[in-house]
């Protein structure tokens, strides 16, 4: 099944409701686009992990959670792209 989306002047797209439903996407979910050929890309939802709940609990001690989260998302994106 094919879906059409329009790119805004800010480079944003709105995923059609039917596609969001099929992929199980909700507001604020993240997706990854993987370019597989010059003009072809695959869109996949990023798995939710415990780091996506950041700032919901105040941590004890001092840790750079922004750096930890960024590293985790980068590794997760790489993992999904290699599937």
Nearest to 33 by CA among 79, 75, 77: 77
CB 15 within 8 A of CB 3: yes
Looking at the chain, the whole-number percentage of residues with pLDDT higher than 70 is 83
Reported pTM: 0.53
Measure the CA–CA gap between 31 and 13, rounded to whole angstroms. Answer: 12
pLDDT tens, 33-53? 999 998 999 999 887 776 666
Q: Does residue 5 surpass a pLDDT of 90?
A: yes
Instruction: Give the C-alpha separation, 83 to 79, whole Å.
Output: 7
Least confident of 2-16, 25-39, 62-76: 62-76
Instruction: Give residue limits of the domains in the chain.
Output: 17-81
In terms of C-beta density within 10 A (0-12 exposed, 13-18 middle, 19 or more buried), how is residue 17 classed?
Answer: exposed
């Amino acid at each position: 099944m094919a879906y059409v989306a329009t790119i805004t002047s800010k480079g944003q797209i709105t995923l059609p409701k039917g596609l969001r439903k099929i992929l199980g996407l909700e507001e604020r979910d993240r997706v990854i686009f993987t370019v597989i050929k010059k003009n072809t890309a695959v869109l996949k939802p990023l798995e939710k992990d415990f780091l996506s709940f950041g700032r919901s609990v105040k941590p004890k001690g001092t840790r750079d959670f922004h750096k930890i989260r960024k590293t985790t998302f980068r590794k997760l994106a790489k993992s999904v792209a290699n599937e």
